[in-house]
Every structure is written in C-alpha cells, then in structure tokens.
A and B are shown apart, each in its own frame.
Chain A
Amino acid sequence: EAQVTQNPRYLITVTGKKLTVTCSQNMNHEYMSWYRQDPGLGLRQIYYSMNVEVTDKGDVPEGYKVSRKEKRNFPLILESPSPNQTSLYFCASSLRSGYQPQHFGDGTRLSIL
C-alpha cells in the first residue's frame, strides 16, 4: 500500500531535549516536505526536499533541521525543542514537485513542556 509513515504519532517531551520525527515513503517519490499546523495559522511549510541531498527552507524553518540521505526518508530534527514548537506536524511526498499531488502522513502531535 502506498503510504507516508510518520513516527511517533504522539510525543510529549521537555524543553531542550533533542528529538527526531521520522518520515518514510514507499512510493519512490523525489519530493518530500514537512509542515506544521497550528490553530489560527493553518499549515505552514518548514522544509522541503526536491531529491536526495537537496533541501531548502520553507516559511518557518527556524529551530528545525532536516536531512535527505536516502530517497525514502526525510527526518525532521528538533535540536533544542521549545514550547513554541508544540504543534501538529505533517510529512508529505510527491513524485516530483509541481505536477503531482502531495500525499500526506497522518501527522505527529508534539507537545514541548
């Protein structure tokens, strides 16, 4: 089954404790992206990747890191999480940016205390 898988689905942690949210897709997609969704602010793009080893900032990249060493994986790293990063995070992928619709994971709800 074609899917985008995020882990964990839920996480409660404390300020400053490094964490990684994994994202994996099994569709051989080139384009992958991370978003956060906040009430009143909607969905905002954090980082995206056009292909392996090619990443670029979205609208809200501060406090986040990403890497794209393999085509299928695109982890989101919070080196020193802060409470303002409490949010619902989505990973998405598409075959190539532009022509194809994006497929979304089910989301990761992060709470930073």
Chain B
Amino acid sequence: KQEVTQIPAALSVPEGENLVLNCSFTDSAIYNLQWFRQDPGKGLTSLLLIQSSQREQTSGRLNASLDKSSGRSTLYIAASQPGDSATYLCAVLMDSSYKLIFGSGTRLLVRP
C-alpha cells in the first residue's frame, strides 16, 4: 500500500531564506506527483505537477524535483516571503488505479 511521508511536519524560517520541503513515497509505480498549497479555511491550490517521466518542474520561485526510483520529491522555495506561509502537501497519483494519495503536509511559517 502506498504511503506518502512529508518531513518536516512544521517549519519556521526568517524571511528571505531558501528552503526545501521533502516528500517520500513507498511505491514507485506512480503516474505523477503534485505539490499543493493549503491556506487556513481554504481548499488546495496546485503549485506544480511532475509527470513520472520528468525530473523537475519550475514555477517562479518554486522548483520541484522527482526521483521516482528512490521514491523522493523535494519542493524548493527560493527567497521565502511571509505570504508563503501555508501548509504544503504532496500527493502521488497511482499508475494502476488513478487514486490520489496525499502526504500529511508541512506547515510553513515565514517570519517577517
């Protein structure tokens, strides 16, 4: 059974710092991996989607990498800002079933 783990569970950094969020998964038979952002009281916003054949995706200050064989993905946030404060979730779409399995998230606080 697929398990998705995110480390750390919470992170507090000063503004301007570059940071890395980690996501690992136990079953490499994935179709793609997505990183989401969730603000309190809100739904999820998709940040980046990486297909299983890709190694990375970039959007602005965000860069996500995928190493399917080792079951790992990282989300890199450059020059963090207080507006980046949110919970970040990764999710894998399973190859065979099209089920989406989420990690439990990393709660990020960027201090001014």
Binding site for B on A (CB under 8 A): 4, 31, 33, 35, 40-45, 48, 50, 56, 58-59, 90, 92, 97-107
B99 within 8 A of A: yes
B76 within 8 A of A: no
Residues of chain B within 8 A (CB-CB) of A40 are 104
Given contact pairs A90-B43, A98-B32, A107-B43, A43 touches B89 in the complex (Cβ within 8 A): yes
B35 to chain A, nearest CB (A): 10
Q: Is the interface of B mostly helix, strand, loop or mixed?
A: strand
B36 to chain A, nearest CB (A): 8
Give Cα A56–Cα B97 distance, bound, in whole angstroms.
9
B42 within 8 A of A: yes
From B31, B41, B49, contact of A101 by CB (8 A): B49
A53 to chain B, nearest CB (A): 16
Counting chain A CB atoms within 10 Å of each CB, which of B32, B99, B104 scores highest?
B99
On whether the beta carbons of A90 and B44 are closer than 8 Å, the reply is: yes
